[in-house]
Structure 1
Amino acid sequence: MIQRFLMAAAGLALAMVTGAASAQDYREALVEDGVLTVGTSGSAPPFSMTTPTGDLAGFDVDVATMLGEALGLEPSFEKLDFAGLLPGLTSGRFDIIASGVTRTPERLASEDFILLSPYIVNGVAITRRAGDDEITGWDTVCGKVMGAVRGGTFQKIALEQLPADCVTETREYPGATELFLDLRNGRIDFAAHDFLGPNYLLKSGQISDVVVLDDLLATITQSVAVNAGNEPLANAIDTQFAAWRDDGTLQALIEEWFGASIDWSAAE
Protein backbone atom coordinates (compact mmCIF):
# COMPACT_ATOMS: atom_id res chain seq x y z
CA MET A 1 0.00 0.00 0.00
CA ILE A 2 2.78 2.43 1.00
CA GLN A 3 4.72 1.56 -2.15
CA ARG A 4 1.68 2.22 -4.33
CA PHE A 5 1.11 5.53 -2.54
CA LEU A 6 4.71 6.58 -3.08
CA MET A 7 4.52 5.62 -6.76
CA ALA A 8 1.29 7.59 -7.17
CA ALA A 9 2.79 10.59 -5.41
CA ALA A 10 5.86 10.40 -7.60
CA GLY A 11 3.69 10.19 -10.69
CA LEU A 12 1.66 13.21 -9.60
CA ALA A 13 4.82 15.19 -8.93
CA LEU A 14 6.21 14.25 -12.32
CA ALA A 15 2.98 15.27 -14.02
CA MET A 16 3.06 18.62 -12.22
CA VAL A 17 6.68 19.21 -13.21
CA THR A 18 5.99 18.17 -16.80
CA GLY A 19 2.94 20.43 -16.97
CA ALA A 20 4.89 23.35 -15.55
CA ALA A 21 7.74 22.75 -18.00
CA SER A 22 5.30 22.57 -20.91
CA ALA A 23 3.67 25.84 -19.82
CA GLN A 24 7.09 27.44 -19.52
CA ASP A 25 7.98 26.17 -23.00
CA TYR A 26 5.06 27.86 -24.75
CA ARG A 27 5.48 31.02 -22.69
CA GLU A 28 9.12 31.35 -23.75
CA ALA A 29 8.23 31.49 -27.46
CA LEU A 30 5.34 33.98 -27.26
CA VAL A 31 5.46 37.17 -29.31
CA GLU A 32 4.94 39.11 -26.06
CA ASP A 33 5.50 37.77 -22.57
CA GLY A 34 2.27 36.63 -20.91
CA VAL A 35 0.18 37.60 -23.93
CA LEU A 36 -1.56 35.45 -26.55
CA THR A 37 -1.27 37.58 -29.70
CA VAL A 38 -4.19 36.71 -31.99
CA GLY A 39 -4.47 37.62 -35.67
CA THR A 40 -8.04 37.85 -36.96
CA SER A 41 -9.84 39.48 -39.88
CA GLY A 42 -12.77 41.16 -38.12
CA SER A 43 -14.68 40.80 -41.39
CA ALA A 44 -15.89 37.18 -41.48
CA PRO A 45 -19.17 37.07 -39.51
CA PRO A 46 -19.84 35.32 -37.25
CA PHE A 47 -16.32 33.86 -36.98
CA SER A 48 -14.69 37.26 -36.59
CA MET A 49 -16.49 40.58 -36.95
CA THR A 50 -16.30 44.21 -35.94
CA THR A 51 -19.23 45.69 -34.04
CA PRO A 52 -20.58 49.21 -34.76
CA THR A 53 -18.58 50.44 -31.76
CA GLY A 54 -15.36 49.04 -33.25
CA ASP A 55 -15.06 46.06 -30.90
CA LEU A 56 -14.27 42.55 -32.07
CA ALA A 57 -16.84 39.79 -31.59
CA GLY A 58 -17.61 36.33 -32.91
CA PHE A 59 -16.97 32.64 -32.56
CA ASP A 60 -13.21 32.96 -33.04
CA VAL A 61 -12.97 35.87 -30.62
CA ASP A 62 -14.72 33.76 -27.98
CA VAL A 63 -12.50 30.75 -28.73
CA ALA A 64 -9.31 32.82 -28.45
CA THR A 65 -10.53 34.50 -25.25
CA MET A 66 -11.31 31.08 -23.72
CA LEU A 67 -7.89 29.80 -24.79
CA GLY A 68 -6.19 32.73 -23.12
CA GLU A 69 -8.03 31.98 -19.88
CA ALA A 70 -7.26 28.24 -20.08
CA LEU A 71 -3.55 28.87 -20.76
CA GLY A 72 -3.10 31.69 -18.28
CA LEU A 73 -2.43 34.27 -20.99
CA GLU A 74 -3.95 37.64 -21.80
CA PRO A 75 -5.43 37.62 -25.35
CA SER A 76 -4.52 40.58 -27.55
CA PHE A 77 -6.24 40.85 -30.94
CA GLU A 78 -4.87 42.38 -34.13
CA LYS A 79 -7.08 42.91 -37.18
CA LEU A 80 -5.76 42.28 -40.68
CA ASP A 81 -7.31 41.38 -44.06
CA PHE A 82 -7.59 37.60 -44.29
CA ALA A 83 -5.02 37.42 -47.11
CA GLY A 84 -2.37 38.83 -44.78
CA LEU A 85 -3.04 36.63 -41.75
CA LEU A 86 -1.03 33.51 -42.66
CA PRO A 87 1.97 35.54 -43.90
CA GLY A 88 1.77 37.54 -40.67
CA LEU A 89 1.78 34.34 -38.64
CA THR A 90 4.73 32.98 -40.61
CA SER A 91 6.71 36.18 -40.06
CA GLY A 92 6.20 35.97 -36.29
CA ARG A 93 3.70 38.81 -35.93
CA PHE A 94 1.10 36.58 -34.19
CA ASP A 95 1.09 33.59 -31.88
CA ILE A 96 -2.09 32.25 -33.46
CA ILE A 97 -4.63 33.03 -36.16
CA ALA A 98 -8.28 32.70 -35.20
CA SER A 99 -10.39 33.55 -38.25
CA GLY A 100 -12.12 30.45 -39.59
CA VAL A 101 -8.98 29.00 -41.21
CA THR A 102 -9.93 26.07 -43.46
CA ARG A 103 -7.91 22.88 -42.97
CA THR A 104 -6.72 22.13 -46.51
CA PRO A 105 -4.13 19.43 -47.30
CA GLU A 106 -1.65 22.12 -48.34
CA ARG A 107 -2.05 24.04 -45.10
CA LEU A 108 -1.89 20.90 -42.96
CA ALA A 109 1.38 19.95 -44.66
CA SER A 110 2.91 23.43 -44.35
CA GLU A 111 6.10 23.90 -42.37
CA ASP A 112 5.42 27.64 -42.06
CA PHE A 113 2.69 27.24 -39.41
CA ILE A 114 0.83 24.53 -37.47
CA LEU A 115 -2.85 24.05 -38.30
CA LEU A 116 -4.66 22.36 -35.43
CA SER A 117 -7.41 19.74 -35.14
CA PRO A 118 -10.97 20.84 -36.04
CA TYR A 119 -12.97 23.21 -33.90
CA ILE A 120 -15.93 23.26 -36.35
CA VAL A 121 -17.34 21.38 -39.37
CA ASN A 122 -18.60 23.49 -42.26
CA GLY A 123 -19.17 23.27 -46.02
CA VAL A 124 -18.46 25.04 -49.33
CA ALA A 125 -21.73 26.59 -50.48
CA ILE A 126 -23.25 29.00 -52.98
CA THR A 127 -24.78 32.29 -51.90
CA ARG A 128 -26.76 33.99 -54.68
CA ARG A 129 -29.28 36.80 -55.08
CA ALA A 130 -32.78 35.84 -53.99
CA GLY A 131 -34.29 36.58 -57.40
CA ASP A 132 -31.72 34.66 -59.48
CA ASP A 133 -33.51 31.39 -60.16
CA GLU A 134 -30.95 30.38 -62.81
CA ILE A 135 -28.50 29.27 -60.11
CA THR A 136 -29.98 26.26 -58.32
CA GLY A 137 -26.78 24.39 -57.42
CA TRP A 138 -23.15 23.90 -58.34
CA ASP A 139 -24.13 22.30 -61.65
CA THR A 140 -25.66 25.61 -62.80
CA VAL A 141 -22.82 28.09 -62.14
CA CYS A 142 -20.87 27.61 -65.37
CA GLY A 143 -20.53 30.87 -67.26
CA LYS A 144 -21.36 32.90 -64.15
CA VAL A 145 -19.14 35.44 -62.36
CA MET A 146 -17.90 34.07 -59.01
CA GLY A 147 -16.88 36.16 -56.03
CA ALA A 148 -14.86 35.07 -52.98
CA VAL A 149 -12.78 36.39 -50.10
CA ARG A 150 -9.16 37.04 -51.08
CA GLY A 151 -6.80 34.46 -49.62
CA GLY A 152 -9.63 32.04 -48.76
CA THR A 153 -9.99 28.47 -49.93
CA PHE A 154 -13.61 28.30 -51.06
CA GLN A 155 -12.93 29.59 -54.57
CA LYS A 156 -9.91 27.28 -54.84
CA ILE A 157 -12.03 24.25 -53.93
CA ALA A 158 -14.72 25.37 -56.38
CA LEU A 159 -12.30 25.82 -59.28
CA GLU A 160 -10.66 22.45 -58.55
CA GLN A 161 -13.92 20.52 -58.42
CA LEU A 162 -15.96 22.23 -61.13
CA PRO A 163 -15.44 21.29 -64.81
CA ALA A 164 -12.50 22.95 -66.53
CA ASP A 165 -13.35 26.42 -67.88
CA CYS A 166 -16.70 26.34 -66.07
CA VAL A 167 -16.06 29.60 -64.23
CA THR A 168 -13.91 31.93 -66.29
CA GLU A 169 -14.29 35.14 -64.28
CA THR A 170 -13.71 35.51 -60.54
CA ARG A 171 -13.49 38.56 -58.30
CA GLU A 172 -11.90 38.66 -54.86
CA TYR A 173 -12.69 40.85 -51.86
CA PRO A 174 -10.99 41.75 -48.55
CA GLY A 175 -13.84 40.27 -46.50
CA ALA A 176 -17.39 38.93 -46.47
CA THR A 177 -18.94 42.39 -46.08
CA GLU A 178 -17.57 43.61 -49.42
CA LEU A 179 -18.28 40.25 -51.05
CA PHE A 180 -21.98 40.18 -50.22
CA LEU A 181 -22.41 43.89 -50.99
CA ASP A 182 -21.17 43.31 -54.55
CA LEU A 183 -23.38 40.22 -54.81
CA ARG A 184 -26.48 42.22 -53.88
CA ASN A 185 -25.47 44.99 -56.30
CA GLY A 186 -25.16 42.50 -59.18
CA ARG A 187 -21.42 42.84 -59.79
CA ILE A 188 -21.00 39.09 -59.28
CA ASP A 189 -23.49 36.28 -59.85
CA PHE A 190 -22.70 34.14 -56.84
CA ALA A 191 -20.36 33.91 -53.88
CA ALA A 192 -18.27 30.82 -53.19
CA HIS A 193 -18.23 30.87 -49.41
CA ASP A 194 -18.87 28.75 -46.38
CA PHE A 195 -22.36 27.48 -45.44
CA LEU A 196 -22.65 28.58 -41.81
CA GLY A 197 -21.47 32.18 -42.06
CA PRO A 198 -23.98 33.55 -44.62
CA ASN A 199 -26.80 31.66 -42.89
CA TYR A 200 -25.91 33.47 -39.67
CA LEU A 201 -25.91 36.83 -41.47
CA LEU A 202 -29.37 36.13 -42.91
CA LYS A 203 -30.84 34.96 -39.60
CA SER A 204 -29.42 37.94 -37.75
CA GLY A 205 -30.71 40.38 -40.38
CA GLN A 206 -27.25 41.64 -41.33
CA ILE A 207 -27.78 40.77 -44.99
CA SER A 208 -30.93 40.31 -47.06
CA ASP A 209 -32.08 39.55 -50.59
CA VAL A 210 -29.71 36.58 -50.88
CA VAL A 211 -30.14 32.82 -50.58
CA VAL A 212 -27.66 30.24 -49.28
CA LEU A 213 -28.08 26.97 -51.19
CA ASP A 214 -27.70 23.70 -49.26
CA ASP A 215 -25.93 22.03 -52.18
CA LEU A 216 -22.50 21.63 -50.56
CA LEU A 217 -19.60 21.15 -52.95
CA ALA A 218 -17.40 19.82 -50.13
CA THR A 219 -17.42 19.34 -46.38
CA ILE A 220 -14.63 21.25 -44.72
CA THR A 221 -13.18 21.60 -41.24
CA GLN A 222 -11.73 24.76 -39.76
CA SER A 223 -9.44 25.56 -36.87
CA VAL A 224 -6.76 27.79 -35.38
CA ALA A 225 -3.28 28.12 -36.89
CA VAL A 226 -0.25 28.47 -34.60
CA ASN A 227 3.21 29.97 -35.13
CA ALA A 228 5.53 27.15 -36.29
CA GLY A 229 8.13 28.26 -33.75
CA ASN A 230 5.90 27.44 -30.80
CA GLU A 231 5.01 23.74 -31.02
CA PRO A 232 4.35 23.55 -27.24
CA LEU A 233 1.61 26.18 -27.69
CA ALA A 234 0.11 24.18 -30.57
CA ASN A 235 0.11 21.04 -28.41
CA ALA A 236 -1.48 22.86 -25.47
CA ILE A 237 -4.26 24.32 -27.64
CA ASP A 238 -4.90 21.01 -29.43
CA THR A 239 -5.24 19.29 -26.04
CA GLN A 240 -7.75 21.95 -25.00
CA PHE A 241 -9.71 21.54 -28.25
CA ALA A 242 -9.91 17.77 -27.70
CA ALA A 243 -11.32 18.34 -24.22
CA TRP A 244 -13.81 20.92 -25.49
CA ARG A 245 -15.00 18.59 -28.28
CA ASP A 246 -15.55 15.82 -25.73
CA ASP A 247 -17.31 17.85 -23.06
CA GLY A 248 -19.59 19.81 -25.41
CA THR A 249 -17.96 23.22 -24.94
CA LEU A 250 -17.33 23.73 -28.66
CA GLN A 251 -20.79 22.40 -29.54
CA ALA A 252 -22.44 24.90 -27.18
CA LEU A 253 -20.40 27.76 -28.66
CA ILE A 254 -21.30 26.69 -32.20
CA GLU A 255 -25.00 26.58 -31.33
CA GLU A 256 -24.73 30.03 -29.74
CA TRP A 257 -23.12 31.67 -32.77
CA PHE A 258 -24.46 29.63 -35.68
CA GLY A 259 -27.69 28.15 -34.34
CA ALA A 260 -26.56 24.75 -35.65
CA SER A 261 -25.38 21.42 -34.31
CA ILE A 262 -22.26 19.80 -35.72
CA ASP A 263 -21.72 16.24 -36.88
CA TRP A 264 -18.24 15.67 -35.45
CA SER A 265 -17.96 12.37 -37.33
CA ALA A 266 -17.10 14.45 -40.40
CA ALA A 267 -14.10 15.96 -38.61
CA GLU A 268 -10.75 14.39 -39.48
Structure 2
Amino acid sequence: MTHLQHLFLRRATGAAALALAVTLGGSLPGQAAAETLKLGNEGTYPPFSMVDAKGELTGFEVDLARAMCARMKVECEFTVMDFKALIPSMLQGKFDVLVSQVSPTPERIAKLEFSMPVVYNPQAFVMRKGVVTTFSKEALAGKGIRLAMQRGGAGIPYINKHFDGVFKHVYYDNPDQMRLDMLAGRLEGVFGAKINWTRELMDTPQGKDYELVGGDHWIGDPAIPPEKRGSSWVMRKGETALLGRVDTALNALIDDCTFTELRKKYLNVAILVREEACAAKTN
Protein backbone atom coordinates (compact mmCIF):
# COMPACT_ATOMS: atom_id res chain seq x y z
CA MET A 1 0.00 0.00 0.00
CA THR A 2 1.35 3.45 -0.88
CA HIS A 3 2.18 6.23 1.60
CA LEU A 4 -0.86 8.17 0.35
CA GLN A 5 -3.13 5.20 1.03
CA HIS A 6 -1.75 4.89 4.59
CA LEU A 7 -2.41 8.59 5.11
CA PHE A 8 -6.04 8.21 4.02
CA LEU A 9 -6.53 5.16 6.23
CA ARG A 10 -5.20 6.90 9.34
CA ARG A 11 -8.04 9.41 8.91
CA ALA A 12 -10.69 6.71 8.58
CA THR A 13 -12.03 4.48 11.35
CA GLY A 14 -13.80 1.15 11.74
CA ALA A 15 -15.80 -0.15 8.78
CA ALA A 16 -14.98 2.94 6.75
CA ALA A 17 -11.27 2.18 6.99
CA LEU A 18 -11.78 -1.41 5.89
CA ALA A 19 -13.93 -0.36 2.93
CA LEU A 20 -11.37 2.25 1.91
CA ALA A 21 -8.53 -0.29 2.06
CA VAL A 22 -10.34 -2.56 -0.41
CA THR A 23 -11.25 0.35 -2.70
CA LEU A 24 -7.62 1.50 -2.87
CA GLY A 25 -6.45 -1.95 -3.86
CA GLY A 26 -5.58 -3.37 -0.46
CA SER A 27 -6.94 -6.56 1.06
CA LEU A 28 -8.53 -7.47 4.34
CA PRO A 29 -6.40 -9.20 7.00
CA GLY A 30 -5.98 -12.86 6.05
CA GLN A 31 -7.51 -12.32 2.59
CA ALA A 32 -5.31 -13.68 -0.21
CA ALA A 33 -5.05 -11.77 -3.46
CA ALA A 34 -6.80 -13.52 -6.36
CA GLU A 35 -4.51 -15.37 -8.79
CA THR A 36 -4.52 -13.90 -12.29
CA LEU A 37 -3.99 -16.10 -15.34
CA LYS A 38 -2.81 -14.14 -18.37
CA LEU A 39 -4.20 -15.46 -21.65
CA GLY A 40 -3.22 -14.71 -25.26
CA ASN A 41 -5.75 -14.74 -28.11
CA GLU A 42 -5.86 -13.47 -31.69
CA GLY A 43 -9.40 -12.05 -31.67
CA THR A 44 -9.86 -12.41 -35.45
CA TYR A 45 -10.79 -16.08 -35.87
CA PRO A 46 -14.60 -16.34 -35.90
CA PRO A 47 -16.46 -18.17 -34.50
CA PHE A 48 -13.69 -19.11 -32.07
CA SER A 49 -12.57 -15.58 -31.27
CA MET A 50 -13.60 -12.12 -32.45
CA VAL A 51 -14.24 -8.61 -31.21
CA ASP A 52 -17.94 -7.68 -31.24
CA ALA A 53 -19.58 -4.37 -32.12
CA LYS A 54 -19.09 -3.17 -28.52
CA GLY A 55 -15.37 -3.80 -28.74
CA GLU A 56 -15.57 -6.83 -26.44
CA LEU A 57 -13.63 -10.04 -27.02
CA THR A 58 -15.99 -12.97 -27.59
CA GLY A 59 -16.23 -16.34 -29.37
CA PHE A 60 -16.23 -20.01 -28.40
CA GLU A 61 -12.60 -20.24 -27.29
CA VAL A 62 -12.92 -17.00 -25.35
CA ASP A 63 -16.04 -18.25 -23.54
CA LEU A 64 -14.38 -21.60 -22.90
CA ALA A 65 -11.28 -19.88 -21.50
CA ARG A 66 -13.41 -17.83 -19.12
CA ALA A 67 -15.23 -20.98 -17.99
CA MET A 68 -11.87 -22.69 -17.48
CA CYS A 69 -10.64 -19.81 -15.32
CA ALA A 70 -13.82 -20.02 -13.22
CA ARG A 71 -13.20 -23.74 -12.61
CA MET A 72 -9.57 -22.99 -11.72
CA LYS A 73 -10.75 -20.17 -9.39
CA VAL A 74 -8.49 -17.60 -11.04
CA GLU A 75 -9.04 -14.24 -12.70
CA CYS A 76 -8.65 -14.08 -16.49
CA GLU A 77 -6.71 -11.34 -18.25
CA PHE A 78 -6.65 -11.38 -22.07
CA THR A 79 -3.98 -10.03 -24.41
CA VAL A 80 -5.04 -9.83 -28.08
CA MET A 81 -2.57 -9.74 -30.99
CA ASP A 82 -1.97 -11.17 -34.48
CA PHE A 83 -1.53 -14.95 -34.48
CA LYS A 84 2.05 -14.73 -35.80
CA ALA A 85 3.07 -12.85 -32.63
CA LEU A 86 1.30 -15.07 -30.10
CA ILE A 87 3.81 -17.90 -29.66
CA PRO A 88 6.89 -15.60 -29.55
CA SER A 89 5.13 -13.32 -27.06
CA MET A 90 4.20 -16.23 -24.79
CA LEU A 91 7.76 -17.56 -24.88
CA GLN A 92 8.90 -14.09 -23.81
CA GLY A 93 6.62 -14.32 -20.76
CA LYS A 94 4.05 -11.73 -21.84
CA PHE A 95 1.22 -14.13 -20.97
CA ASP A 96 0.80 -17.64 -19.56
CA VAL A 97 -1.50 -19.61 -21.88
CA LEU A 98 -2.25 -19.19 -25.59
CA VAL A 99 -5.98 -19.84 -25.95
CA SER A 100 -6.22 -19.71 -29.74
CA GLN A 101 -6.16 -23.22 -31.22
CA VAL A 102 -2.64 -24.39 -32.16
CA SER A 103 -1.83 -27.39 -34.36
CA PRO A 104 0.67 -29.80 -32.75
CA THR A 105 3.49 -29.89 -35.28
CA PRO A 106 6.73 -31.65 -34.29
CA GLU A 107 8.54 -28.28 -34.14
CA ARG A 108 5.94 -26.82 -31.78
CA ILE A 109 5.75 -29.95 -29.62
CA ALA A 110 9.51 -29.59 -29.01
CA LYS A 111 9.15 -26.14 -27.42
CA LEU A 112 5.59 -25.96 -26.07
CA GLU A 113 3.30 -27.81 -23.68
CA PHE A 114 0.02 -28.79 -25.38
CA SER A 115 -3.27 -29.11 -23.56
CA MET A 116 -5.81 -31.74 -24.46
CA PRO A 117 -7.40 -30.91 -27.85
CA VAL A 118 -10.18 -28.33 -27.78
CA VAL A 119 -11.25 -28.73 -31.42
CA TYR A 120 -10.67 -30.93 -34.43
CA ASN A 121 -10.51 -28.39 -37.25
CA PRO A 122 -8.65 -29.75 -40.31
CA GLN A 123 -7.27 -27.49 -43.01
CA ALA A 124 -8.95 -27.31 -46.40
CA PHE A 125 -8.59 -25.61 -49.77
CA VAL A 126 -11.28 -23.07 -50.64
CA MET A 127 -11.16 -22.25 -54.35
CA ARG A 128 -13.10 -20.08 -56.72
CA LYS A 129 -15.33 -22.35 -58.81
CA GLY A 130 -13.83 -23.30 -62.16
CA VAL A 131 -10.22 -22.92 -61.06
CA VAL A 132 -9.79 -26.61 -60.24
CA THR A 133 -11.15 -29.52 -62.25
CA THR A 134 -8.76 -32.22 -61.04
CA PHE A 135 -7.11 -31.85 -57.63
CA SER A 136 -3.54 -33.11 -57.69
CA LYS A 137 -0.11 -31.53 -57.45
CA GLU A 138 0.47 -32.18 -61.13
CA ALA A 139 -2.91 -30.80 -62.27
CA LEU A 140 -2.55 -27.63 -60.16
CA ALA A 141 1.02 -26.83 -61.21
CA GLY A 142 1.48 -24.07 -63.75
CA LYS A 143 -1.96 -22.50 -63.24
CA GLY A 144 -0.59 -19.50 -61.34
CA ILE A 145 -3.05 -20.00 -58.48
CA ARG A 146 -2.67 -17.28 -55.85
CA LEU A 147 -3.13 -19.04 -52.50
CA ALA A 148 -3.67 -17.21 -49.22
CA MET A 149 -2.11 -18.47 -45.98
CA GLN A 150 -1.85 -17.03 -42.48
CA ARG A 151 1.49 -15.74 -41.27
CA GLY A 152 2.83 -17.88 -38.44
CA GLY A 153 0.41 -20.72 -39.24
CA ALA A 154 1.35 -24.39 -39.55
CA GLY A 155 -0.26 -24.46 -42.99
CA ILE A 156 2.79 -22.77 -44.53
CA PRO A 157 5.33 -25.57 -43.92
CA TYR A 158 2.64 -28.12 -44.86
CA ILE A 159 2.11 -26.48 -48.26
CA ASN A 160 5.86 -26.09 -48.77
CA LYS A 161 6.32 -29.81 -48.13
CA HIS A 162 3.37 -31.29 -50.02
CA PHE A 163 2.72 -28.68 -52.75
CA ASP A 164 6.16 -27.21 -53.33
CA GLY A 165 6.25 -24.88 -56.36
CA VAL A 166 2.53 -25.30 -57.11
CA PHE A 167 1.03 -22.04 -55.81
CA LYS A 168 1.87 -18.35 -55.66
CA HIS A 169 1.90 -17.78 -51.92
CA VAL A 170 0.18 -14.68 -50.51
CA TYR A 171 0.52 -14.11 -46.75
CA TYR A 172 -1.97 -12.44 -44.43
CA ASP A 173 -2.18 -11.60 -40.74
CA ASN A 174 -5.75 -12.88 -40.31
CA PRO A 175 -8.62 -14.62 -42.18
CA ASP A 176 -10.68 -11.40 -42.46
CA GLN A 177 -8.04 -9.94 -44.79
CA MET A 178 -7.98 -13.15 -46.84
CA ARG A 179 -11.74 -13.21 -47.28
CA LEU A 180 -11.85 -9.58 -48.44
CA ASP A 181 -9.19 -10.22 -51.07
CA MET A 182 -10.91 -13.44 -52.18
CA LEU A 183 -14.19 -11.62 -52.72
CA ALA A 184 -12.37 -8.79 -54.52
CA GLY A 185 -10.85 -11.28 -57.00
CA ARG A 186 -7.25 -10.85 -55.83
CA LEU A 187 -6.96 -14.53 -54.90
CA GLU A 188 -7.97 -17.84 -56.44
CA GLY A 189 -7.81 -19.82 -53.24
CA VAL A 190 -7.18 -20.09 -49.51
CA PHE A 191 -5.65 -22.83 -47.39
CA GLY A 192 -7.27 -22.49 -43.99
CA ALA A 193 -9.32 -24.03 -41.19
CA LYS A 194 -12.32 -25.87 -42.61
CA ILE A 195 -14.82 -25.02 -39.86
CA ASN A 196 -14.03 -21.32 -40.03
CA TRP A 197 -14.17 -21.02 -43.80
CA THR A 198 -17.33 -23.10 -44.08
CA ARG A 199 -19.12 -20.89 -41.56
CA GLU A 200 -17.71 -17.52 -42.63
CA LEU A 201 -17.85 -17.98 -46.42
CA MET A 202 -19.23 -21.24 -47.79
CA ASP A 203 -22.46 -21.10 -45.77
CA THR A 204 -23.14 -17.47 -46.75
CA PRO A 205 -24.64 -16.01 -49.94
CA GLN A 206 -21.15 -14.79 -50.88
CA GLY A 207 -19.93 -18.39 -50.89
CA LYS A 208 -21.94 -19.42 -53.95
CA ASP A 209 -18.95 -18.84 -56.23
CA TYR A 210 -16.53 -20.93 -54.15
CA GLU A 211 -16.01 -24.60 -53.34
CA LEU A 212 -14.06 -26.86 -50.98
CA VAL A 213 -11.63 -29.04 -52.92
CA GLY A 214 -8.96 -31.60 -52.09
CA GLY A 215 -10.46 -33.03 -48.90
CA ASP A 216 -9.32 -32.51 -45.30
CA HIS A 217 -5.66 -32.01 -44.40
CA TRP A 218 -4.11 -32.76 -40.99
CA ILE A 219 -1.20 -30.34 -40.56
CA GLY A 220 -0.15 -31.55 -37.12
CA ASP A 221 2.39 -34.25 -36.33
CA PRO A 222 1.57 -37.22 -38.63
CA ALA A 223 2.69 -39.58 -35.84
CA ILE A 224 -0.36 -38.61 -33.75
CA PRO A 225 -3.06 -41.31 -34.19
CA PRO A 226 -6.22 -40.10 -35.96
CA GLU A 227 -8.39 -40.60 -32.86
CA LYS A 228 -6.12 -38.27 -30.83
CA ARG A 229 -5.75 -35.47 -33.36
CA GLY A 230 -6.90 -31.93 -32.74
CA SER A 231 -5.73 -28.41 -32.02
CA SER A 232 -4.93 -27.34 -28.47
CA TRP A 233 -4.05 -24.46 -26.20
CA VAL A 234 -0.38 -24.13 -25.33
CA MET A 235 1.99 -22.85 -22.67
CA ARG A 236 5.74 -22.67 -22.21
CA LYS A 237 7.76 -25.90 -22.06
CA GLY A 238 8.13 -27.15 -18.52
CA GLU A 239 4.88 -25.59 -17.24
CA THR A 240 3.59 -29.03 -16.32
CA ALA A 241 1.77 -27.94 -13.15
CA LEU A 242 -0.17 -25.30 -15.09
CA LEU A 243 -0.82 -27.82 -17.86
CA GLY A 244 -2.33 -30.22 -15.34
CA ARG A 245 -4.65 -27.54 -13.96
CA VAL A 246 -5.75 -26.51 -17.46
CA ASP A 247 -6.45 -30.09 -18.53
CA THR A 248 -8.34 -30.85 -15.31
CA ALA A 249 -10.61 -27.85 -15.86
CA LEU A 250 -11.15 -28.61 -19.57
CA ASN A 251 -11.96 -32.26 -18.88
CA ALA A 252 -14.51 -31.24 -16.25
CA LEU A 253 -16.14 -28.78 -18.67
CA ILE A 254 -16.45 -31.51 -21.29
CA ASP A 255 -17.73 -34.13 -18.87
CA ASP A 256 -20.53 -31.96 -17.47
CA CYS A 257 -21.48 -30.76 -20.99
CA THR A 258 -20.62 -27.09 -20.34
CA PHE A 259 -18.22 -27.35 -23.30
CA THR A 260 -21.05 -28.43 -25.61
CA GLU A 261 -23.44 -25.77 -24.29
CA LEU A 262 -20.85 -23.07 -25.03
CA ARG A 263 -20.03 -24.54 -28.44
CA LYS A 264 -23.70 -24.56 -29.50
CA LYS A 265 -23.81 -20.76 -29.13
CA TYR A 266 -21.45 -20.53 -32.09
CA LEU A 267 -21.47 -23.84 -34.01
CA ASN A 268 -24.17 -26.39 -34.75
CA VAL A 269 -21.75 -29.31 -35.24
CA ALA A 270 -19.67 -31.14 -32.64
CA ILE A 271 -15.95 -30.33 -32.67
CA LEU A 272 -14.77 -33.16 -30.39
CA VAL A 273 -15.69 -36.85 -30.44
CA ARG A 274 -16.21 -36.68 -26.66
CA GLU A 275 -19.18 -34.39 -27.20
CA GLU A 276 -21.28 -37.36 -28.31
CA ALA A 277 -22.13 -38.11 -24.67
CA CYS A 278 -23.73 -34.67 -24.37
CA ALA A 279 -25.84 -34.84 -27.53
CA ALA A 280 -29.01 -35.83 -25.66
CA LYS A 281 -28.30 -33.69 -22.59
CA THR A 282 -28.13 -30.24 -24.20
CA ASN A 283 -30.74 -28.39 -26.22
Assess same fold via TM > 0.5: yes
* Cα distance change on mapping 1:178 and 1:92 into 2, 3 Å: same
* Cα distance change on mapping 1:120 and 1:204 into 2, 3 Å: same
* Distance in 2 of aligned mates of 1:45 and 1:138: 28
Q: Report which stretch shifted further, 65-74 or 251-260.
A: 251-260
Residue in 2 that maps onto 1:250: 259
Matched, 1:260 2:269: yes
1:90 partner letter: L
Equivalence map 1:172-251=2 (5 Å)? 172-202=171-201, 205=204, 208-209=207-208, 211-213=210-212, 215-218=215-218, 221-228=230-237, 230-251=239-260
| Cα offset, 1:205, TM superposition | 4.8
Q: Which has more radius of gyration?
A: 2
* Distance in 2 of aligned mates of 1:137 and 1:115: 37
Identity between Structure 1 and Structure 2 (%)? 25
Gaps of 5+ in 1: 1-31
TM superposition score normalised by structure 2:
0.72
Gaps of 5+ in 2: 1-32, 220-228, 275-283
* Distance in 1 of aligned mates of 2:51 and 2:61: 12
Kept in 1, the 8 Å contact 2:202–2:210? The answer is no
* Distance in 2 of aligned mates of 1:128 and 1:254: 27
2:131 partner letter: E
Residue in 1 that maps onto 2:67: 66
Residue in 2 that maps onto 1:103: 104
2:52 partner letter: T
Q: Report which stretch shifted further, 245-254 or 220-229.
A: 245-254
* Distance in 2 of aligned mates of 1:226 and 1:210: 40
TM superposition score normalised by structure 1:
0.75
Q: Residues 58-94 of structure 1: CA distance to partner in whole angstroms, max 9, x if unpaired?
A: 1110111011101111111111010000001000001
Q: Report which stretch shifted further, 138-147 or 171-180.
A: 138-147
* Distance in 2 of aligned mates of 1:89 and 1:66: 21
Kept in 1, the 8 Å contact 2:37–2:76? The answer is yes
Kept in 1, the 8 Å contact 2:202–2:211? The answer is no
Kept in 1, the 8 Å contact 2:34–2:75? The answer is no
2:231 partner letter: Q
| Cα offset, 1:172, TM superposition | 0.8
| Cα offset, 1:228, TM superposition | 3.3
